[in-house]
Amino acid sequence: MRENLVEALQEIWSHKMRSFLTMLGVIIGIASIIAIVSTIKGTNDQIMKDLVGKGNNNVSISLYQGDYEYYFEGDTVSEITQVTEEQQEEIRSIEHVEDATFYNSRTYVDNISAGSKVLSGGKIYGIDTHYLNTCGYVVYQGRAFVDIDYKKCNKVALLDSTAADILFPGENAVGQTLEISGEPFIIVGLYQQQTAFEPDIQNLSDYETYYTESYGTVLIPNVDWAICYKYDEPQNAFVRADDTENMSAIGKSAQKIMQECISSSGTDLTYTAEDLVEEAKQQQQLSNSTNNLLIWVASIALLVGGIGVMNIMLVSVTERTREIGLKRSLGARRRRILMQFLTESAVLTSLGGVLGVVIGIVMAVIISNISGTPVGISVPAIVVSVAFSMVIGILFGLLPSVKAANLNPIDALRRE
């Protein structure tokens, strides 16, 4: 085998231009496939990153009425009870669940103010002690809520930077007082996302999917919720998975437990887990179905390259007929001649495959820089591409190799 490899490399080197032109079809085909696969992988990774959990693998479980999320507007919901502590612990003990938080919320509120400033259209959450950790928030100024705040129902609040800028422009918000439904709350800290999330927005569809305008958010202890809104409200939940792939499963399990809080079977209210993994996979399938067509088109170049290899190997057999005849007359077996030409053909296409991989990666990076399309280099795709190019060399080099092996030594030596 080593001798065959050396002879193959010597033959390729002695006809450098011819060998390169022969490899060109394989190079173009492999490069196109690598570039397309890299773009597909990059796009799929970006879809999963942008759509699924924003980096924290959170599953949102919310109360729905029919097909739409239920928004509280001051009415009571007698059919639903709050999630009990036993149910909360049961959800936290689900396999692959790292943490879970249960909260009350109102959106588009207009009852939060500080002097003449009003947080119009903002959000307010009544949170438990697990909220910040589950959702990946950190307090960057002041302090977080502590146990005594929950035990004594201290009227304290946390603000995000947007709410702080609206209510206290140019001032330090920590230590200031705001009013929620006329009740004074002391701001003890400011919070933010621990890891900044920046979705890759390329078009209007991405903008509508990923972008949500923030009008500011206020957090208060859930024990203070009744102070502001005067009645108990059903809770929603965030459940954090240990891995993105487990989000759908834990969402369904937690949803089933929270569904037990709905006492009336005739109501159209239901707890629903947002299955972002499935939504991401649907978008990935749509992307893949389009790009797979491009892969088939690129594969045609490989077929053309394979035919080119067969043609040049037939020419090589014709040129080296006397050499073959001499080897056969000195005792070389047909298998030896067959393996010699098969090896040369496989080496030729393998080199084309390696060059194609390098060019494909460069093409993918160039496409990414020009169009902004994310790129993800797939190591399995690289390995398969090189192996496939070798297979092409073996398949399309088989006919010329068999022809060379079957030459009659006497006739071969007579050939001019």
- Least confident window among 38-47, 188-197, 240-249: 38-47
Please give the angle made by the CA atoms of 181, 187 and 193, to the nearest 5 degrees: 105
Contact 159, 187 (CB under 8 A): yes
pLDDT band at 18 (very low <50, low <70, confident <90, very high): confident
Closest CA to 387 of 399, 398, 395: 395
pLDDT digits (tens, 9 = 90+) for 107-166: 888 899 999 999 988 899 999 999 999 998 999 999 999 999 999 999 999 999 999 999
pLDDT band at 412 (very low <50, low <70, confident <90, very high): low
Tokens at 263, concatenated: 């006492």
Tokens at 306, concatenated: 């394979």
pTM: 0.62
Instruction: Kindly state the percentage of the chain with pLDDT values over 90.
Output: 29
DSSP per residue over 228-286, as a string?
HHSS----EEEEEESSGGGHHHHHHHHHHHHHTTB--TT-SEEEEE--HHHHHHHHHHH
Query: Which distant-in-sequence residues (6+ apart) come within 8 Å of 87 by Cβ?
Result: 257, 258, 260, 261
Q: Which residues pair with 141 in a beta bridge?
A: 190
pLDDT digits (tens, 9 = 90+) for 257-286: 999 988 766 678 889 888 766 666 665 565
Mean of pLDDT values over 329-352? 78
Mean of pLDDT values over 294-313? 76
Higher pLDDT, 228 or 302: 228
Q: CA-CA-CA-CA torsion for 86, 92, 95, 98, nearest 10 degrees?
A: -170
